[in-house]
Structures are given as structure tokens and as C-alpha cells.
Amino acid sequence: MDKFTSMRAFNAVVMEGSFTKAASRLEISPQLISKYIGQLEESLQVRLLNRTTRRVHLTEAGQSYFERCQQILQDIDNMENDLTNLQNQVTGTLRVSVPMSFGIHHLSNPITEFQQRYPEMRVELFLTDRKVDLLDEGIDVALRIGHLKSSTLVAKKITPIRLSLCAAPQYWTQHGIPQDLVALSQLNYLRFTYSDLRSLLVDWPKSVSIQDFKSDFASNNGDVIVNMAMQGRGYAIQPTFLTGQALARGELVALEHFPIESLGLYALYSHREFLASKVRHFIDFLSEYYGDTPYWDKTGQLDELKLPNKGY
């Protein structure tokens, strides 16, 4: 059995949702697709797919294998693309979707440098916090911030995204510094509508309910939330690429004793047999530009503010 051929057949079935569509995509017969899947399951001694008359569904084992299979096939394709496109020029139009606040604050300079390096590249940048359909909207690559979830898209982590729990110094002075989640829940949370507070704060105790948290303001834009926090309206949990300058100026003060789950900046693109050279070069450029520690996190940590503890 050709393991890689069977893996590609399996991957195509999952991506297309049916044996027939997968066969059309790979330009082979549905019977041969079925044979490859059967051989793969026999080799692994596990069922990967549950078949119905209309659609196929991944088993738990199939979901795990699909994620690993995607990465292996992607690595093979990348290796072959590196050789095939070694001498290719990076040209054409690159359509990029990016979260609004991140795009406004931190993407103009790298795109400028990218186009200086590849002067024949044209870039169309779309700022939106909604999830876009890459194929339907003709997007080459989407930058997204969060935790990597199972998807039919290929995702590559560009750089880590740290979050800070912070408020204006006068807010902490007036209300005191909370020492645990119970005390924190009694303060005013300036909520970002696209995030789940429970998924951000680590070591969430069973005794604390999300309904216990007070909040009189929410927005789908991080810049607005940071500005509200600077005005002393409450505390916020926002990325350091938005809060960093205010923290450095002392307009916001972060509490370090609340552990917060880090996120990541990911580049998402449609799975293709041969990744376009312009997309590959752009993703590689951003990875190099931001690095393992992005520039907005290299200014050093601020000391925790020492304020009176008002009974918390």
C-alpha cells in the first residue's frame, strides 16, 4: 500500500465531504478512493470514517488522524514547493484578511517592508473581526488571533499573543487590588464581545460562576475597550499589542498575579496541493518579522503597582 497516496485520498474525502467529490478532485474513481480508505483503516486497525448514503463523518480517531495527516502532507507539499518555486519571483495580488485593531496598529510597517522586498507584489488588505470564508471571498490568507481549533483550513502560528489584565491606576486606587477571582468579579469588567472570560483566565475555581462577574460595557473593538479602561471605567483583558504603550506610560497598570492564557497570531489559508509562492513568502516574512517574541513585548515587564488593599 502507498501510504502517502492513501493519506491524500483520506484527506480529500474529509475536505470534500464525500467519496465522489474526493475522486473528482484527485481525478480517480470513487472505487479507488474507497479502496485507499479501506487499506488505510486496515493498516491502522481503526475506523476513520463513518459512512452514510449522503455524507461521511469523522470518528474520534479519524479526527485525530486527519489533523496529523494534514500537517504531514503540508510539510511534504512545502518541501516540494520550496524546490519547485526556488527561482520563482513573488508577483501578483495578495488578498489578506486581518483583525481590525491589529491591522491598524501593527501591519502597515511589515507590509511596507514586504512590498519593498518584492516590489512586484500588490496587497489588498481587508480589516474585519468577523470570520471570513476564504474561498467564497477570494482571500489568499487570513490572520486570526486566538486558540487553534480543528478546521479544514491550514493554520501556521506566526507569533504568540500575550494578554494583560489591566486598568487605570486611579481605578485600582479607588477599588483596591483584587487578590482572587471572587474579588475580581465584583469590579467592572470591560468585556470584549468576541472573547470568553472563562477561557482566558487560568485555574478557574468551581465556586466562581461567569454570571457573578459585573460588566456594564462591552464592545467588539479592542481599541475602544482600552480607551475606556484608561478613563477609569473598569478593568480590561486585552492583548499587549494594544495595551503596551499605555502600560509603559503608566496610564494602565497590569495585575500579574492573575494567570492568563496566551493566544497566538495564526495565518490561515486554504489547503492546496501547491501553495502559491506569494502566500508562502508572505507567511514566512511575517514569521521572521514578528519572531518568537514580538517587538511590542520587548520593552520589559512593568512592576506590579503597590496600592492599598481595600479589604479584598
Tally of structural domains, the chain:
3
- Do 109 and 138 have their domain in common? yes
Of 84, 104, 125, the residue that ends a domain is: 84
- Residue-by-residue pLDDT tens, the chain, 312 positions: 688 888 889 888 888 888 888 888 888 998 998 898 899 888 889 999 988 766 788 888 888 888 888 888 888 877 776 665 544 568 889 999 999 999 999 999 999 999 999 998 999 999 988 888 787 788 899 999 987 665 667 888 999 999 999 999 999 999 999 999 999 999 999 999 888 888 888 878 777 888 889 999 999 999 999 999 999 999 999 999 999 999 999 999 999 999 898 899 999 887 655 577 888 899 999 999 999 999 999 864 334 444 444 433
pTM, two decimals, is: 0.66
Residue 312 placed within a domain: no
Report d(CA 265, CA 37) in Å as an integer.
34
- pLDDT for 149 equals 64
How distant, in Å, are the alpha carbons of 43, 49, 91, 268 from that of 64? Answer: 16, 12, 37, 19
Tell which of 42, 59, 84 closes a domain: 84
- Do both 125 and 191 map to the same domain? no
Report residue 206: phi and psi, to 5°: -65, -25
Q: Any idea of the CA torsion for 200, 204, 206, 208, to the nearest 10 degrees?
A: -70
CATH code of the domain containing 118: 3.40.190.10
Is residue 232 included in any domain, yes or no?
A: yes
Instruction: Report CA torsion sign: 77, 78, 81, 83.
Output: negative
Name the helix (H) or strand (E) containing 123. strand 121-127
In angstroms, the CA 279 to CA 37 distance is 31
What is the model's pLDDT at position 296?
94
| Predicted pLDDT of residue 294 | 95
Q: What is the pLDDT of residue 82?
A: 66
Instruction: Answer yes or no: do 80 and 127 share one domain.
Output: no
Give residue 85's pLDDT. Answer: 55
CA torsion sign for 179, 184, 190, 192 is positive
Which runs of consecutive H residues, i.e. helices, occur in the chain? 3-16, 19-26, 30-44, 60-84, 100-106, 108-117, 134-137, 169-175, 181-185, 197-200, 222-230, 240-249, 277-290
- 136 lies in the same domain as 269: yes
- Give the Cα separation of 241 and 158 in Å (integer): 14
Per-residue burial over 79-99, b if 16 or more Cβ lie within 10 Å, else e, is eebeeebeeeebeeebbbbbb
Q: How far is CA 260 from CA 145, 209, 251, 273, in A?
A: 15, 17, 21, 38
Q: What's the rounded Cα separation, in Å, for the pair 163 and 145?
A: 11
Residues 44 and 192 in one domain: no
User: Do residues 79 and 225 both lie within one domain?
Assistant: no
Q: Domain range spanning residue 48?
A: 3-84
Co-location of 23 and 171 in the same domain: no
In a domain, 308, yes or no: no
Per the domain annotation, does 139 fall within a domain?
yes
The C-alpha cell that represents 171 in the structure block: 481605578
- Whether 171 maps to a domain, the answer reads yes
